[in-house]
């Protein structure tokens, strides 16, 4: 694929996400219907299990979760224990057919992206997830960092269809670059974090004080799971709006938790 502004769409054979799960969610205590599952990463609480189920399922009535020991799981801030959980409800459950927007991780290029990168780098000057600083930012050297689109540039058509420019209050310096390239649709990450974020293995939950939520054990060595973004970043009026982070978090839940999970893709970096 040529180096245009588009991310390329990958076609390598996919695998599912069962391999790294330690927690399963079933539709009833007979456990014959797997609704989904996850890896109970640090920072994922009992309340998350409820709210994530509300993303992947529709319920016609109130529902409760019970654990292996047939104990009610309270909707609280306790760390989720790995294991089996099942839903109890007098209503019915249906799993959403909402499909997340997935693309292979690649580094787009072109003049539109150059000015996007510059504005994101100037705002953040460090990885907003790990806190790693760009040591030579003052001379414009950003080796090892990426400006990551929250809503991928590969989906500019969907961005436009959904009128997401309404979330943007600071257009890019050159408005012909499109609102998707606003600094408000970007965060600065290390190259490694860029891959995890763009493949939805990592997300930020704006409804839990910007907690970093990890969906795979691969992220354990970084000690970021369950941490919160820096307050200075949260206070910055140029940072991404909550609705964009919420959209990304929702994709991550659909990708990782629903059913057996979406296929995983190898990274695809253009030569
Ligand atoms: C998007 O905005 C256009 C023009 O403002 C409007 O006609 C259209 O209904 C909007 N679409 C959605 C999905 O909100
Ligand atoms: C804005 O971007 C367009 C497309 O990249 C380019 O043709 C135009 O020269 C740019 N305008 C300015 C003022 O830089």
**pLDDT tens-digit profile of 199-242?**
999 999 999 999 999 999 999 999 999 999 999 999 999 999 99
- Residue of 17, 3, 21, 18 whose CA lies nearest to 111: 3
Residue 8 has pLDDT above 60, yes or no: no
Asked whether residue 170 falls in the same domain as residue 205, the answer is yes
pTM for the structure as a whole:
0.89
> Average of pLDDT values for 83-96?
93
Our answer on whether the CB atom of 174 is closer than 6 Å to any ligand 2 atom is: yes
Which residue out of 111, 115, 118 has the highest number of ligand 2 atoms within 8 Å of its CB and is therefore the one to mutate? 111
pLDDT of residue 200: 94
12, part of any domain: no
pLDDT of residue 29: 80
Smallest CA separation from ligand 2 atom 14, residue: 174
* Phi and psi, residue 254, nearest 5°: -65, -40
Smallest CA separation from ligand 2 atom 3, residue: 176
Cβ proximity of 43 and 214 under 8 Å: yes
**Res. 268 pLDDT band, cuts 50 70 90:** very low
Q: Which among 95, 120, 141 is the end of a domain?
A: 95
Residue 5 has pLDDT above 50, yes or no: no
Asked whether residue 79 falls in the same domain as residue 147, the answer is no
106, part of any domain: no
CA 164 to ligand 2 centroid distance, Å:
22
Asked whether residue 115 falls in the same domain as residue 245, the answer is yes
Asked whether residue 61 falls in the same domain as residue 182, the answer is no
The closest-lying atom of ligand 2 relative to the alpha carbon of residue 112 is: 5
Asked whether residue 155 falls in the same domain as residue 215, the answer is yes
Our answer on whether the CB atom of 163 is closer than 6 Å to any ligand 1 atom is: yes
Q: Which domain holds residue 229?
A: 111-249
pLDDT of residue 260: 73
Asked whether residue 173 falls in the same domain as residue 237, the answer is yes
Asked whether residue 199 falls in the same domain as residue 171, the answer is yes
Smallest CA separation from ligand 1 atom 8, residue: 163
pLDDT of residue 15: 63
**233: enclosing H helix or E strand:** helix 231-235
Asked whether residue 242 falls in the same domain as residue 139, the answer is yes
Asked whether residue 82 falls in the same domain as residue 147, the answer is no
Among the bound ligands, name the one nearest to the CA of residue 165. Answer: 1
CA 111 to ligand 2 centroid distance, Å:
9
Tokens 């790294």 belong to residue: 20
41, part of any domain: yes
Smallest CA separation from ligand 1 atom 13, residue: 162
pLDDT of residue 14: 47
Computed over every residue of the chain, the mean pLDDT equals 89
270, part of any domain: no
Our answer on whether the CB atom of 111 is closer than 6 Å to any ligand 2 atom is: yes
Q: How many folded domains does the chain comprise?
A: 2
pLDDT of residue 140: 87
Over residues 117-169, the pLDDT tens digits come to 999 999 999 999 999 999 998 888 999 999 999 999 999 999 999 999 999 99
Q: Which among 95, 121, 142 is the end of a domain?
A: 95
- Residue of 148, 245, 255 whose CA lies nearest to 191: 148
83, part of any domain: yes
- Please tell me what DSSP assigns to residue 222: G
Smallest CA separation from ligand 1 atom 5, residue: 163
Asked whether residue 120 falls in the same domain as residue 180, the answer is yes
Asked whether residue 61 falls in the same domain as residue 126, the answer is no
The closest-lying atom of ligand 1 relative to the alpha carbon of residue 163 is: 1
71, part of any domain: yes
CA 102 to ligand 2 centroid distance, Å:
29
Our answer on whether the CB atom of 176 is closer than 6 Å to any ligand 2 atom is: yes
pLDDT of residue 265: 54
2, part of any domain: no
Q: Which among 95, 127, 154 is the end of a domain?
A: 95
pLDDT of residue 261: 75
Asked whether residue 220 falls in the same domain as residue 129, the answer is yes
210, part of any domain: yes
Question: What are the strands, taking DSSP E only, across the chain?
Answer: 23-26, 34-38, 57-59, 63-67, 72-73, 83-89, 93-95, 145-149, 186-190, 202-205, 211-214
């Amino acid at each position: 694929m040529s180096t245009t502004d588009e991310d390329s769409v990958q076609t390598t054979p996919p695998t599912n996400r069962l391999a790294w799960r330690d927690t399963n969610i079933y539709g009833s205590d007979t456990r014959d219907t797997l609704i989904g599952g996850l890896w109970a990463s640090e920072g994922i609480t009992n309340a998350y299990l409820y709210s994530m189920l509300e993303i992947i399922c529709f319920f016609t009535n109130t529902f409760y979760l019970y654990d292996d020991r047939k104990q009610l799981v309270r909707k609280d801030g306790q760390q989720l224990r790995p294991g089996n959980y099942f839903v109890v409800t007098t209503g019915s459950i249906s799993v959403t057919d909402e499909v997340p927007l997935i693309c292979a991780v690649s580094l787009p290029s072109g003049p539109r992206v150059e000015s996007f990168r510059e504005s994101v780098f100037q705002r953040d000057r460090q990885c907003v997830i790990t806190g790693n600083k760009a040591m030579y930012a003052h001379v414009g050297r950003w080796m090892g960092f990426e400006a990551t689109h929250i809503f991928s540039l590969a989906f500019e058509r969907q961005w436009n269809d959904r009128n997401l420019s309404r979330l943007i209050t600071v257009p890019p310096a050159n408005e012909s670059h499109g609102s998707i390239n606003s600094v408000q649709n970007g965060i600065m990450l290390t190259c490694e974090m860029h891959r995890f974020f763009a493949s939805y293995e990592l997300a930020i939950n704006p409804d839990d004080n910007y907690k970093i939520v990890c969906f795979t054990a691969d992220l354990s060595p970084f000690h970021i799971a369950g941490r919160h973004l820096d307050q200075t970043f949260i206070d910055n009026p140029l940072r991404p709006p909550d609705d964009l982070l919420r959209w990304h978090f929702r994709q991550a839940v659909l990708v990782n938790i629903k059913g057996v999970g979406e296929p995983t893709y190898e990274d695809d970096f253009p030569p």
